[in-house]
């Protein structure tokens, strides 16, 4: 059985993102390795002192979903909004709380509103360049 795991790549800002997402989603950090923790054979390059502190591999659990995160050193970093991560929460208040935490530095695509399929939804690009949809499954009649 295949498992699809979102893997977020950053340009030196991974640690900041880890703690923001942990706070927003009450996520659990399952793994956090810095480049200084990894074998040199894994990446075959000399690193600056700053790069040694970058995140080599991290895993967060948001609900039951694992996401992986790392600072990318192998290719130039290019943010993309072609794919979004949708997080479905229980209540409108949960959606608003998460957005309140994540909105700093974000670009709002759709502000907090209700839709045909959700009593509360918001879509935005966070300050790291990732597109999110935070919503409920609930609908109001």
Q: What is the pLDDT of residues 2-30, one digit of tens each?
A: 999 999 999 999 999 999 999 999 999 99
Choose the final residue of a domain: 47, 71, 95.
Answer: 71
Q: Is residue 125 part of a domain?
A: yes
Q: What is the pLDDT of residues 87-104, one digit of tens each?
A: 999 999 999 999 999 999
pTM of the model: 0.91
Query: CA 66 to CA 15: how far, in whole Å?
Result: 16
Helix (H) or strand (E) holding 95: helix 92-102
Q: Is residue 79 part of a domain?
A: no
Q: Is residue 112 part of a domain?
A: yes
Choose the final residue of a domain: 71, 92, 126.
Answer: 71
């Amino acid at each position: 059985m295949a498992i699809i795991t979102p893997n977020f790549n950053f340009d030196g800002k991974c640690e900041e993102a880890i703690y923001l997402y942990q706070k927003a989603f009450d996520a659990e950090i399952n793994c956090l390795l810095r480049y200084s923790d990894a074998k040199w054979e894994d990446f075959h390059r000399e690193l600056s002192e700053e790069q040694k502190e970058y995140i080599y591999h991290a895993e967060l659990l948001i609900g039951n979903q694992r996401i992986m995160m790392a600072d990318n050193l192998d290719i130039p970093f290019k943010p993309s909004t072609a794919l979004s991560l949708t997080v479905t929460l229980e209540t409108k208040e949960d959606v608003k709380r998460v957005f309140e935490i994540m909105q700093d530095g974000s670009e709002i695509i759709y502000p907090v509103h209700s839709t045909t399929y959700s009593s509360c939804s918001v879509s935005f690009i966070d300050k790291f360049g990732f597109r999110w949809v935070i919503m409920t499954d609930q609908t109001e009649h």
